[in-house]
Structures are given as C-alpha cells and as structure tokens.
C-alpha cells in the first residue's frame, strides 16, 4: 500500500507543480520613452526585484528600450544603477571622441581662428548636410560595449528575459517591432529622436524613435503571450503657454503631442488586473541627466507605493534567471578581426588603428579609444563594432560607414582687435580640405586669409604607410603682413613684408599627441615702407633653409582647456648654399599647461624666440601683441629678433553643463603677462612690459567667442573680439 501511495505521489507532483505554475500569471513589463526621465525605470526595476516580482517579458520604447534591453540581457539591478549614475551623458549624447583619442593632424585643424563647425561637400561638389544634429557615434559605441556579451543572440526570445523594442519607419510612418537582430543597433534605432539623432538603417528601413507611433507598447507586450502587464509611464507632460518661449520649446512640445496621443490609446487598453506606475516626474525634463539619482528614486518610490497590490505577484527567486546573469561572457576571447568598410580609405588603415590582439580577451576600454581615433579621421558617419559568435570562434567585426555628406570640408573664421585709438586689425579666413585622395588617406589643405595679415597656404599631405606614422608634405606659401621698425623704443616706420616660398617636409606622427617634421624650403620677397619715413630703405631678400619642428598637444579642449599640455619647438637654419642671402639661426619654444579644479582653470605658459646671428631685422623678427600676447597692444604690434613672454591665465565656467548638443558655456577670466622684445643690434629693447586683461568667453558651436579688455604699463589699452583660436 505504501508503495502504491508513493507511486501516486510521484505521478501527481508534476501535475501539482504544473498547476502552481499555471496559477501564476505571466507578467510583462512595459517601459515607455522619455529621455532622461527614463532613468526612473531603473528605480522601478529595483523596487520590483526587492518585492520578488518576476518579469516574464519586456517591451520598451526609446529610453525604455535602453533600460529594458540591458535588464533583459542579464544586467543586475545594482549594475544598472551604477551605469545610470556613472555614465558621462554629455559625452554619450555627442559625436566628438575624447580629444586625446583624435589623431594629431585633426587636432591641428583648430590651431588658427577658424570656427569649429565645417561645411562638408561630396565628390560632385554638392553641399552635404547630416540627417541629424547627432550621428549617435558615442551612443552606439556605448551600447556595443555594454551589450558585447549578448552579440551572438539574434533571437530576443533567447535572452534571459524575452525582449521587444519599438522603432518607427520614417519613410512610411509604420511601427517596427524588433524580435530579432543586433541588440545594440536595435536599441539605438528605438531612441533616434528625429532631427536630433540621425536615423538608423536596418534591413533597408530608415528608423527613428519608436515613441512617434507607440511610446507605451502595451500591445507589443501582450503579443508576447503575457497574462498581465506592469506599465511604467514616464511621458513628458505638456507645457503651458508661458513655458513656450523658444524654438526648442516648440519642437519639444510637438514631439510630446505626438507621443501623448498614441500613449493615451495604449493606456486606455489596460485591464483591471494590469498595473500602471507613473513616477512623479513633473519637475524633471528630458535632458536632466545631471539629476539621475533623483529620477531613479522617483521611480523607486512610485513602485513602493504599490507594494500591497504587487504582493500577489511575489514569488521565490528565479534560479534560472540568476544563473543566466552570472554566467554571461562579458569579455570574449577574440579569435579573428574582420573589416566592413565602404569609405574612401583602405581596410589596412582601419585595421592599423585597431590594437586588439587576436587570441586575447576583448579590451573594451582600448577598443573604445580606437573607435574614437578612427571616427576622428573625418572619413566616417559612424564606426561601430560587434562580436560575432560562431562555435568556438569570436570574430570582432569593425564596421566603418563612409560619410554620406562628403569628406571635403570648408571652415571659416574671423578676428578683430581695436586699441581704442583708431588702430584696429581685422582678419577673415577660410580653409578647404580635400580628404581621401587615395586609400592611404592623402589630403590637400588650402588656407586663405585676408585682412591685416594676408596668407595663402597650400599643402599636400601624403601618408607613407597605413596609420600615417610617416608622411611627406610638400607646400607652397604666400604671406603679407605689417612689421614695425623701432628705434630707441619708438616706432619709426611700418613695413609691409611680403614673403613667397615653397618647401618639403618629411615627418612622423608620435601617437595621437605628437609630431616631428624635418624640412627644407626656399622663400623670397620684399619689405617696403608702408607708413613712416619713406626715405628708409626697402628690402628684397632670398631665403633658403632647413628646419626641424616638434609639436605635442594633449589638451582636452583647444579653446578652453582644463587639462593637458601644448608644446611646440622649432629650429631653423638659413644657409647660403640653399639660396639664402644670409646665414643665421632661429629657434622658438612655446608652452601652455592647463590645470583645473572643478570649474576653475589655470593656464601657465609662454613663448621664447631667439635669432642667434646677425640678420636683417625686418625679415627675421618675431611678433608679439594682442589678447594674452602682451595685452593692451594691438595684434602683432611689437616686433623683435628676440622675444620672451610669460603668462598666467585664469578662468571659471559660470554656466551649468548642458546635455544637449546646444551647449553654450560661459567663462569669465583674467590674465597676467610679462614680456620683452629686443634686437641683436641693441638699437631696440622694449624692456620687460607687464600686462593684464579681463575677458568673457562663450564656447559656441561655431567656436569660442571672446571679448577682452587689455592694458599694460606701457600705457597701452585695447579691446579685442575673437571668434576662434583662444590661446
């Protein structure tokens, strides 16, 4: 009898377990979009886990797809919270790589007063405009790094928690629900706010933010076979009339209207057993990433309030899910590297910048930096990576998509200074750079400047190997500027110096921060009296020289740096054997060092230039004068065969950090300077001059806009307006 009862119990146990399982409803979690407000989803998930709520399926839109996708792929809630609080959202929501990762040659594009923004042109000469303010480069890389462990999972039902993401086909306005695909790419498509982020192309479809058609995808969750849904609505409320003051307010309101209309339809479909969580987020905006902790806590509190109602869904720990979360391979061993490239440059160039060794675990930090360097070459709309799993093979695939808007760039700039005594300097400039002339990445740069200082410079830059470690750069140059002749510390004339020349440089790049060049060149010209004693002699000259130049640039921002150094050393020997009228030597050293603490920054540095032998004063002089170059003097007002300058510049950021691409930080600062200029013939020596300035500056999308007032103990004062180069 006992044996019979035991057999009956063994037979009934599976049925009892099945009945218990059947009694528990399958729970779907619906996470809506809302940009920064979507971080409330982290708090919601934290509270649900504490209450023992098991989620059987997740459907998400936009930021809901980001949080939901990470959670579904195996991220623990403490990992999600750490990510949300630790991510540099300003960097993630931009395209610019860290400046330390940008190739040295691209760093030098910002060295004159040309503005940051550039117009791009296609090969046929047509103007190329981007499809979004943000291409999503850094965001895509961030998602790839966070989801590298799930790259081999193409069926989202096979994730630790089944997952769906919603996007919108911008061509026909239809909803696209992703059940399969490359998870980071799918999430990126789901959060592509139109005009802000460039659309994502997947399977021939051009995709934007899913919030346009289904911001709260309740219907998607039900199609996954769940019995009930927990809906988290973090939608942005409509603004009142008095809050609509700018074009950006109107744009945000328009987007909110579109998302709210489809959200209300989905909310109306909720059943009595469904649970709606609406965190109190009225005081938080879509860009308030700086208030991440408060937003997370708002989601947590809103879920805790529903603890009694959620209690019916409580169940023991899901052992299978816990195992899935601890067994994921976050750093796979890479067995091969493959390049997918449709740009102008060859695969070998791209491969050169990828330092990941084959046969070693994936180094995500180093790979992120390599991606930044590749993107900084200015050949690509996006550079992405993924890990493809096939059996025991782990292939790192680098996907480089060439710029659809063109790779030829035009930049403009201007500067103005006025000494308040009727003497001013005004310059406008432009540069045009043709990229990708051949597969090694040859470039042709032409720069033109008109005004007080005139210049035409054209250089052909030809790398000699993949990665541009070695290069040759022939150039031509024509330049005209004013140089003052000074006797006994008084200007006696102003010469117009014209110089024409050509040369050839051979060089080597040193990582992303340095470059050394060795060159030979020839120049000729004349110097005629423009203002002053017309009886003074005019000068014609010929120059032949060889030189060596070393440059190092590790500044984090060339306009308003907070860390890093800028170093330049040049030595030039003029030789009669190369066509020079005189034999003499010159060298110049420049240094700027940035030090910061919070919003406060110090720039310490200066210049020192020497002419070591007898030479014509007009043609061999260095120039000083201008904002923070002995303030109070107009630009290039002081000339001498030898110069020295020491300076300390202080500035403080006065505005909070913005997480949108439209960031206009305001700085206020001052400088202290001490400098001297003198000639070798002892007929001119300015003595040491002490100078100071105060300034305000805006770091605009076009470049820095600076207003400065300078004065010195030589009784000189000047106002300066600069758009472009600052230091």
Secondary structure (DSSP) of 706-719? EEEEEEETTS-EEE
Range 431-437, long-range pairs (CB < 8 A, 24+ positions):
431/109, 431/112, 431/114, 432/408, 433/109, 433/408, 433/409, 434/408, 435/344, 435/378, 435/379, 435/407, 435/408, 435/409, 436/343, 436/344, 436/345, 436/379, 436/407
Task: Tell me which residues of the chain have a pLDDT lower than 50.
Answer: 1, 4-5, 8-9, 12-13, 15-22, 327-328
pLDDT tens digits, 103-139: 898 888 777 656 667 777 777 777 776 666 678 888 8
Secondary structure (DSSP) of 373-439? HHHTTS-EEEEEEEEEEETTEEEEEEEEEEPTT-SEEEEEEEEEEE-SSS-EEEEEEEEEEE--SST
CA 12-15-18 angle, to 5 degrees, is 150
Distance, in Å, from the CA atom of 530 to the CA atom of 491, rounded to the nearest integer, reads 13
- pLDDT for position 16: 44
Name the nearest CA neighbour of 620 among 530, 523, 518. 523
- pLDDT for position 413: 79
Strand segments, DSSP code E, in 469-553 are 470-487, 490-510, 514-532, 539-553
Q: For residues 556 and 564, is the Cβ–Cβ distance under 8 A?
A: yes
N-to-C CA span, the chain? 96
Distance, in Å, from the CA atom of 151 to the CA atom of 379, rounded to the nearest integer, reads 26
Gyration radius (Cα) of the chain, Å = 32
Tokens of 164: 């769906």
CA 39-42-45 angle, to 5 degrees, is 150
């Amino acid at each position: 009898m006992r044996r019979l009862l035991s057999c009956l119990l063994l037979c009934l146990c599976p049925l009892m377990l099945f009945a218990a399982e059947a009694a528990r409803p399958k729970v779907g979690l619906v996470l809506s979009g809302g940009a920064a407000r979507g971080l409330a989803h982290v708090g919601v998930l934290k509270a649900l886990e504490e209450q023992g709520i098991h989620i059987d399926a997740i459907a998400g839109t936009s930021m809901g797809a980001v949080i939901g996708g990470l959670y579904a792929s195996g991220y623990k809630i403490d990992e999600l919270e750490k990510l949300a609080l630790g991510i540099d959202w300003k960097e993630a929501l931009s395209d610019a790589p860290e400046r330390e990762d940008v190739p040295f040659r691209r760093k030098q594009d910002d060295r004159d007063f040309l503005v940051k923004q550039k117009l791009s042109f296609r090969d046929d000469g047509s103007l190329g405009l981007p499809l979004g303010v943000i291409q999503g480069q850094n965001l895509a890389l961030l998602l790839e790094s966070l989801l590298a462990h799930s790259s081999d999972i193409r069926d989202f039902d096979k994730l630790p928690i089944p997952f769906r993401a919603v996007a919108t086909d911008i061509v026909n306005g239809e909803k696209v629900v992703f059940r399969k695909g490359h998870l980071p790419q799918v999430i990126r498509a789901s959060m592509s706010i139109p005009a802000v982020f460039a659309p994502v192309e997947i399977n021939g479809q051009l995709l934007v933010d899913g919030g346009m058609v289904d911001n709260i995808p309740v219907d998607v969750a039900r199609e996954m076979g769940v019995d009930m849904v927990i809906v988290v609505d973090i939608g942005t409320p409509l603004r009142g009339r008095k809050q609509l003051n700018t074009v950006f307010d109107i744009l945000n309101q328009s987007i909110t209207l579109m998302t709210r209309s489809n959200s209300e339809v989905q909310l109306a479909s909720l059943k009595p057993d469904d649970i709606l969580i609406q965190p109190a987020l009225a005081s938080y905006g879509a860009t308030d990433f700086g208030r991440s902790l408060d937003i997370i806590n708002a989601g947590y509190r809103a879920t805790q309030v529903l603890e009694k109602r959620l209690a019916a869904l409580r169940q023991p720990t899901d052992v299978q899910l816990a195992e899935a979360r601890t067994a994921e391979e976050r750093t796979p061993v890479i067995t091969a590297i493959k390049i997918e490239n449709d740009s102008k440059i060859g695969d070998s160039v791209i491969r050169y910048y990828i330092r990941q060794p084959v046969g070693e675990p994936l180094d995500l930090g180093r790979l992120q930096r390599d991606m930044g360097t590749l993107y900084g070459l200015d050949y690509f709309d996006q550079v992405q990576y993924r890990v493809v799993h096939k059996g025991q093979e782990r292939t790192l695939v680098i996907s480089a998509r060439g710029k659809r808007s063109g790779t030829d760039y035009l930049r403009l700039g201007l500067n103005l200074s006025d000494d308040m005594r009727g003497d001013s300097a005004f310059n406008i400039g432009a540069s045009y750079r043709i990229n990708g002339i051949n597969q090694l990445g040859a470039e042709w740069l032409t720069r033109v400047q008109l005004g007080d200082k005139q210049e035409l410079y054209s250089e052909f830059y030809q790398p000699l190997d993949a990665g541009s470690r070695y290069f040759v750069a022939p150039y031509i140059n024509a330049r005209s500027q004013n140089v003052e002749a000074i006797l006994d510390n008084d200007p006696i004339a102003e010469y117009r110096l014209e110089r024409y020349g050509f040369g050839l440089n051979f060089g080597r790049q040193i990582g992303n921060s340095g470059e050394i060049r060795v060159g030979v060149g020839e120049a000729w010209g004349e110097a005629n009296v423009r203002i002053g004693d017309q009886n003074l002699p005019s000068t014609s000259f010929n120059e032949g020289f060889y030189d060596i130049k070393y440059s190092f640039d590790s500044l984090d921002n060339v306009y308003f740096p907070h860390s890093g150094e800028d170093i330049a050393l040049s030595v030039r020997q003029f030789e009669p054997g190369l066509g020079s009228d005189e034999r003499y030597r010159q060298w110049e050293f420049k240094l700027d060092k940035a030090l910061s603490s919070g919003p406060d920054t110090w720039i310490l540095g200066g210049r020192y230039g020497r002419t070591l032998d007898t030479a014509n004063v007009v043609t061999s002089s260095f120039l000083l004068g201008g904002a923070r170059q002995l303030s109070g003097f107009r630009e290039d007002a002081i000339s001498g065969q030898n110069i020295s300058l020491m300076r300390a510049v202080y500035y403080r950021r006065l505005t909070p950090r913005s997480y949108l691409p439209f960031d206009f930080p305001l700085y206020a600062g001052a400088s202290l300077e001490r400098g001297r200029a003198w000639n070798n013939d002892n007929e001119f020596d300015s003595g040491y001059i002490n100078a100071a300035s105060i300034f305000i500056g805006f770091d605009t999308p076009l470049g820095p806009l600076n207003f400065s007032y300078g004065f010195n103990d030589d009784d000189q004062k000047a106002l300066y307006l600069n758009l472009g180069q600052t230091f």
